Structure 1
Amino acid sequence: MPSPAHPSPNDPSDPLARERAHLAASRSALRAMRKDAEELNIADVAANWVNAKVLQGEIEARIKALADLSHTPLFFGRLDYLHAPGVDLAEGAAGENFYIGRRHVHDADGDPMVIDWRAPVSQPFYRASTKDPMDLKLRRRFGYTGGELTAYEDEHLTDPAEADRTSALLQSEIERPRVGPMRDIVATIQPEQDEIVRAGIGGSVCVQGAPGTGKTAVGLHRVAYLLYAHRERLARSGTLVIGPNRSFLHYIEQVLPALGELEVKQATVDDLVAHVEVRGTDEAAAATVKGDARMAQVLRRAVRAGITPPTEPCVVVRGSRRWRVPAYELEDIVRELMERDIRYGAAREALPQRIAHAVLVRMEQAGEAPDDRVQDAVARNATVKATVKAVWPPVDPAKLVLRLLGDAEFLAEQADGILTPEEQKAILWARPARSVKSAKWSAADAVLIDEATDLVERTPSLGHVVLDEAQDLSPMQYRAVGRRCTTGSATILGDIAQGTTPWATDTWEEALAHLGKPGSAVEELTQGFRVPREVIAYASRLLPAIAPDLTPATSIRESAGDFEVRRVATEDLDATVLAACDRALANEGSIGLIAAEARIPALRSALEAAGTACLAPGEETSAESRLTLVPATLAKGLEYDYVVLDEPAAIIDGEPDERTGLRRLYVCLTRPVSGLTVIHATDLPELLGAASAATR
């Protein structure tokens, strides 16, 4: 039961005032927790300066995590249990009340004032229903304005009459205007999302999520949950969030810190494989071949191409004795190492020890008694080193790929029976580079170097990896991510319908196999929370052409949204788009003007001429403007309260084929939270219908 020192939440006189009092008391308790951490004295605790430094770092992280963010609600819900959790219901124990928030807060006596949303006792906040109350008699949601508690809403879970009622506060939180970076959904997680968030760390999970179903947020909250449930394990092995580009990572970077997790690293796939400077680009045909999983076989051959069967014996001189290992025995050793299928570098390190062991056998047969020190000395012998260098030469991964892409004869030899002559020609450089530094490496080349690097030396594995917008990765990129979690688990997030690369995956089963996680669970999210009903229904008309096997998304949003499709004359296109932006700016929240790459310069000039400030994707935290000018190629994963979509036909024409163009358009159509205005002068795709009358 609540401590007598705390305001009781059951006082019927003024419930909102009592809740505000509990909020004030909780904030005071959080400040006291932070002060206690700041006053910790470790002078006589640490055994040495190294331990002291580590401990001090942990204390500083704790202090930072206890910061009271004034505009972030300390708690967002309350659970009133019929019985005390964990107590036999037959004992008739009185129920308890728990406030659910982003972090745990306790008073001076250690009694909880706010329970972390990840704790088991908090789970009914997300999953309880009138059909399965989970021992709750009441679930209370709180509404905030600028950090101030302004409203509450109760759900009486033992009352069947409330079975179909939708929470007004839940709707209002989903529809709240959003300016700046992505925010957490901890107050609005739905049951099907919560099941994924709390899935165990032992297995990997793939989430197929339609636009607006919250798959990105689910993945981030899953990281926060796993860090709560398995903190010590993941502290040792590490966690990583992988996004499609820097703009996207900048957009989501505040979600985990808001949940109290400050140490999770974020990266793009390009960051993971940054062994060389990327200065070049590939044609689609070349990039597709380089991204094909068969390139792993080509690289494997190439890495081992330098291994040469020994033709001469290895003669080791020690003192007055000469010890001879014949060529046929050396060949057996080399063959055995190759058949063991260990990494090239590990085998190369083992080879001198195996030769030295053969010498020691001869020493023992001659009556000597050599020990491990003798074997190590023999392994370092100059003759043994020379033999190893000749038989199993060192491999530099970047130089190897440089040779593979620049030497037609070498490529043909390694790709024989794997790549067709046409495919080999597609990836062969027209002008071979002289050195690794002078080469104009492409992003796909960097992935090849990463594969070769792993063939030489094992890539360190993390405890958990979240891979977002996964549908756009090539098989070789999947392999690059997969080797970062070979001993850990992964959360894979994406939408087949939003795949816009020439190598985009068609099935998650295929993608999971490339990741090294075959058989992982695939969960589908189809209930939308972000995109208005009319907008998602309109965009879903494209699914038969871009992803016919997917279930169209539905929306729980009661509001149909502000939706308009307008056709104008070509000469009026820019002016109409600017007018639509002005109308959108009259509302609260963020505005995204999304257009084809080819249209961006003209629209930027038009906005500047009109005196309308705009931002680029990733700059949304700036207070200079609420309008972002978004190239269609960067729209994926982003969201805006209102979207003005410029000339869909230009977006389609900007892609290499119609199917990819329609997928790109699908992405752009599904970015709004409150309203969408489509302005076009050219015919829309047939699936979207010929009608262009305004619909509001």
Structure 2
Amino acid sequence: MLGAMTSLDHELTTERAYHDTCRTALDRMVDGAAEQVVTGEDVAASGADAEALGYHLRSHAKELREQRPGPLFFGRLDLQDGRRHHIGRRRISERPADPPLVIDWRAPVARSFYQASARDPQGVDVRRRFGWAPASTGASADLTGLEDEHLAAGDSRISAIVAGEIERPRVGPMRDIAATIQPEQDDLVRADLATTVCVQGAPGTGKTAVGLHRAAYLLYTHPQRIQRGGLLILGPNRTFLSYISEVLPSLGETGIRQSTVEEEIGRGHEVRAVDSEAAAVVKHDARMARVLHRALYARVAAPADSLAVPDGSYRWRVPCEALAEIVEEVRAEAPPYAVGRERIRTRAVRAVQLQAERRSGPRGAAWTGKIARARAVSAFVDACWPKVTPEEVLADFLTDPRDALLTPEERAAIRWVAPPRSYRSAKWSAADLVLLDELACLIERPAGYGHVVVDEAQDLSPMQCRAIGRRADFGSLTVLGDLAQGTTPWAARSWSEHLSHLGKPQAAVVPLTTGFRVPAAVVELANRLLPSLAAEVPEARSLRSDGELTFRRVDDVVAGAAEAVRAALDHEGSVGVIAEDGLVPRLAEALPPHARVTVLPASIAKGLEYDHVVAVEPSAIVAAERRGLHRLYVVLTRAVSRLDVVHARDLPEALTRA
């Protein structure tokens, strides 16, 4: 035993010394990047090249300077060919051309750290994992343990270090999982940039982390292509985005746009109106795409008269039949509406130009420009293909929604009871913003992104999916969600239909069913709800046999929740008190403020995690909305260690079913 301890102490001492070497090298990298910014300013180059070089150098220096403090490596690979690689969140070397002291976890050589096994060693002799003190800022003394798997010798085990990291109490924002990525997660993270992936992930399977790490991997592997198109992270709300905000910076990726769908499509409008549920359901329906297309193009009309364009003392005429043919040709080509307007103008001018050239020879660009600006030509274009704004079209439609695709009841639901005097004074609802985006993109194509990560995608409506899909027309998507957690009235019933609305019908759907965070007792309770959810998803399972599940039948749920919170604070970690939205103010008032306790409505709990969850009055959560059982499924699965169910009413039947 003494010899084993001596051997472990020796290995820890060696690795701590190596970590000190890496720290010194990283400090030199930071200093060197700052020096490059200074010297780069004196480089002789063209203005554009100098600006691009300066931006690159400043960005690199800023990235290194803002690197989150923490351990510089979390693993090591000893290969059978004698090479050795330490694996960390960033590449570290003493000089740029030198072999790295630490390999970036995204590098191809690091893949075997996640994929190698005793059955398939992939050239790995020993895989070493390092255990660091919780919340370590990267002091070498914080390296407290290590474990080796002798893969080439057939050694296979469940990593205690990985299990400890996964089960570590949650306080503060979401952490990265670079040290604990599992093989099935790694396959998704390293999917090719051109590939759209849909992850059907049960609670606690790490689907959000997979999406964020795939974003980091693509930024590392395809930096220029991603920078050209950009990368967008879409989450369901600002609370969720705040929770995940530290993950990409911890992996060395900063400046990535993280937004909600509403913010992305807002067009500068604030939400100042609230739809009835009936109206919102109609506006989010996929049929609205055709309805809006028809409302927009109903403004296109055949010419009523011929075109007469004065040119000095002469007047050129284009007959009405020729103009009507131009309008029909352009309509058949189906360009964006604004492009169609310009094609109408260009072809009308071309018809005049052909007449002029037949009469007296070629005309120059100045003459053509003059004809294009002629009042008669502009009047013809405005009459046949008028200039419009999305707001104008939608306001007219909602004032009198006359489309046969909608039933009389649906038209009545969305019709404005008191139309505004002008579209400029209209108050738009959240669903209206989606419709405005559809119209804006019919008028003029938006710029797209190179890649978009969409989380909680099961709650998107068909029209929201179309808005996202347009932004990835020439890019790819990582679609993350769980059909069992769909809580909106328009939530997805199947991924195939949802992916069609996103414009990626051929995308593969990959299920993740193994929960690493949510303990088995909580997973088994939540699985009882699945038969009542009408969601075609496999049951989740958990690798964790720990965890606590407690039911508290009480007379007063507020007092009962306070008692449960006091008991929860005897343990480490965060505490989330989740209730039906209307009950939250009473709970917040009754519970004393505490840094580890968050009281939140069930409506915004999705995507969040707490070590201890106090779920208050499940029956009220279920009764509060049409898909209340789905909401309860979400609430129960926010717990990653302990779950207290506090109730005065009977529990929902679906929950008590054996």
* 1:478 equivalent among 465, 474, 491: 465
1:52 deviates by 4.1
SS of the residue corresponding to residue 14 of structure 2 reads helix
Mapped partners of 2:309, 2:495: distance in 1:
56
Secondary structure at 2:65's aligned position in 1? coil
Partners in 2 of 1:360 and 1:254 — Cα distance? 61
Output aligned runs, 1:340-419, within 5 Å: 340-406=333-399, 408=400, 411-412=401-402, 415-416=403-404, 418-419=405-406
Residue 588 of structure 2 corresponds to 604
Cα distance in 2 for partners of 1:70, 1:398 equals: 44
SS at match of 2:510: strand
Q: Which one-letter code corresponds to 1:513 in the other structure?
A: S
Amino acid at match of 1:531: V
Query: Aligned AA for 2:304?
Result: T
Question: Structure 1: which amino acid aligns with 2:547?
Answer: G
Equivalent position to 1:81, from 58, 79, 82: 79
Residues 378-424 of structure 1 deviation map (CA, whole Å, 9 limit, x = unaligned): 11212111111111110111111111111x2xx21xx12x1111111
1:437 shift after superposition: 4.3
In structure 1, which of residues 458, 467, 476 is the aligned counterpart of residue 454 of structure 2? 467
1:564 is matched with 550
CA distance in 2 between counterparts of 1:155 and 1:338 reads 66
| 2:338 aligned partner, one-letter code | G
| Residues 311 and 69 of structure 1: CA distance in aligned 2, closer, same or farther (over 3 Å) | closer
**SS of aligned partner of 2:436:** helix
2:154 is aligned with 1:168: no
Compared CA separation, residues 354 and 69, structure 1 to 2 (3 A): closer
Residue 545 and residue 294 in structure 1: after superposition, are their counterparts in 2 closer, same or farther (change >3 A)? Answer: same
1:316–1:438 distance in 2 versus 1, CA, 3 Å: closer
Q: What residue is the counterpart of 2:12 in the other structure?
A: 16
In the other structure, the counterpart of 2:238 is: 246
Q: Which residue of 2 aligns with 1:333?
A: 326
Q: What residue in structure 2 maps to residue 670 of structure 1? A: 637
Structure 1 contact 683–690 (Cα < 8 Å) conserved: no
Alpha-carbon distance in structure 2 between the residues aligned to 1:689 and 1:504: 25
Residue 678 of structure 1, CA deviation: 0.7
Contact 1:474 1:503 in 2 (8 A): yes
CA distance in 2, matches of 1:128, 1:211: 26
Q: Is 1:533 the equivalent of 2:520?
A: yes
> What pairs up with 1:266-305 in 2 under 5 angstroms?
266-275=258-267, 276-305=269-298
Contact 1:496 1:547 survives alignment (8 Å): no
**Partner residue, 2:3:** none
Match of 1:590 in 2: 574
Give per-residue Cα distances to partners, 1:496-515, cap 9 Å, x unaligned.
00000000010010001001
Partner of 2:224: 232
Structure 1 position 49, deviation (Å)? 5.4
Aligned to 2:139: none
Deviation at 1:363, TM superposition (A): 1.5
SS in 2 for 1:14: helix
Pick aligned residue for 1:574 from 550, 553, 558:
558
Q: Deviations over 1:27-64 (max 9, x none)?
A: 11011001001111123315355554443332232122
Q: For 2:553 and 2:313, locate their aligned partners in 1 and report how far apart those are by CA, in whole Å.
A: 96
Contact 2:371 2:377 in 1 (8 A): yes
Moved more, 433-442 or 470-479: 433-442
- The TM-score normalised by the length of structure 1 is 0.90
Q: List aligned pairs for 1:655-694, cutoff 5 A.
A: 655=625, 657=626, 660-689=627-656
Greater mean deviation of Cα atoms: 381-390 or 37-46:
37-46
Indicate which of 635, 650, 654 corresponds to 2:620.
Answer: 650
Residue-by-residue CA offset, 1:412-460 (whole Å, 9 max, x unaligned): 1xx12x1111111111111112233432211000110000001100111
Counterpart CA distance in 1 for 2:552 and 2:416 is 47
The equivalent of 1:67 in structure 2 is: 65
One-letter amino acid of the structure 1 residue matched with residue 112 of structure 2: P
8 Å contact kept, 1:243–1:468: yes
1:29-68 aligned within 5 A: 29-40=25-36, 41-47=39-45, 51-67=49-65
Out of 22-31 and 68-77, give the one that drifted further: 68-77
Which of 506, 509, 515 matches 2:493?
506
Structure 1 unaligned runs (5+)?
1-10, 84-94, 615-624, 692-696
The secondary structure found in structure 1 opposite 2:612 is strand
Q: Deviations over 1:9-30 (max 9, x none)?
A: xx98700111111111111101
Question: Helix, strand or coil for the counterpart of 1:74?
Answer: coil
Cα separation, 1, equivalents of 2:641 and 2:67: 27
- Following the alignment from structure 1 to structure 2, what is the Cα–Cα distance between the partners of residues 481 and 131? 42
Question: Which residue in the other structure is 2:147 paired with?
Answer: 153
Output one character per residue of 1:129-148: Cα deviation in whole Å (capped at 9) or x when no partner: 11111110111111111422
Residue deviations 1:457-500 (CA, integer Å, cap 9, x gap): 01111100000000001100000111111010000000000000
Shift of 1:627: 0.5
Q: Contact 1:596/1:654 (CA < 8 Å) preserved in 2? A: yes
Is the alpha carbon distance of 1:278 and 1:382 closer, same or farther for their aligned partners in structure 2, counting shifts above 3 Å? same
Check if 1:613 corresponds to 2:597. Answer: no
Contact 1:478 1:511 (8 Å CA) reproduced: yes
Q: Is the 8 A contact 2:552 2:560 kept in 1?
A: no
Please tell me the root mean square deviation across aligned C-alpha atoms, in Å. Answer: 1.6
8 Å CA contact retained: 1:77, 1:101: yes
Contact 1:289 1:423 in 2 (8 A): yes
Which of the numbers 481, 496, 500 marks the counterpart of 1:494?
Answer: 481
- Going from structure 1 to structure 2, the CA distance change for 1:403 and 1:255 (only over 3 Å counts) comes to same
Contact 2:41-2:54 at 8 Å conserved across structures: no
Query: Per-residue deviation at 1:689?
Result: 1.5
What's the TM-score once normalised by structure 2's chain length?
A: 0.95
DSSP-derived class of the 1:39 partner: helix
3-state secondary structure, aligned to 2:588: helix
SS in 2 for 1:112: coil
Change (3 A) 1:690 1:495: closer
Task: Work out whether residues 532 and 561 of structure 1, in 8 Å CA contact, stay in contact via their aligned partners in 2.
Answer: yes
Q: Within 1, Cα distance between the matches of 2:657 and 2:214?
A: 43
SS state at 1:675 partner: strand
Question: Is the CA contact 1:684–1:690 (under 8 Å) kept in the aligned structure 2?
Answer: no
Classify the secondary structure of the residue corresponding to 1:123: helix
Q: Deviation per CA, 1:563-609: give whole Å up to 9, x if none.
A: 2112122x3x22221111111112111111111111101111111xx
- Indicate whether 1:201 and 2:185 are aligned: no
Distance 1:466 1:458 in 2: 21
Partners of 1:350 and 1:430 in 2: CA distance: 38
- Seen in structure 2, the aligned counterparts of structure 1 residues 69 and 302 have a Cα distance that, compared at 3 Å, is closer
- How many Å separate the matches in 1 of 2:51 and 2:72? 31
Measured in 2, the distance between the counterparts of 1:433 and 1:642 equals: 49
| Contact 2:68–2:250 (8 Å) recurs in 1 | no
Correspondence for 1:184: 176
Structure 1 residues 44 and 402: CA distance shift in structure 2, 3 A: same
* Alignment-mate amino acid for residue 493 of structure 1: L
Of stretches 58-67 and 383-392 in structure 1, the one that deviates more from structure 2 is 58-67
Residue in 1 aligned with 2:602?
632
Please list every run of 5 or more consecutive structure 2 residues that lacks an aligned counterpart in the other structure. Answer: 1-6, 137-141
- What amino acid maps onto 1:74 in structure 2? L
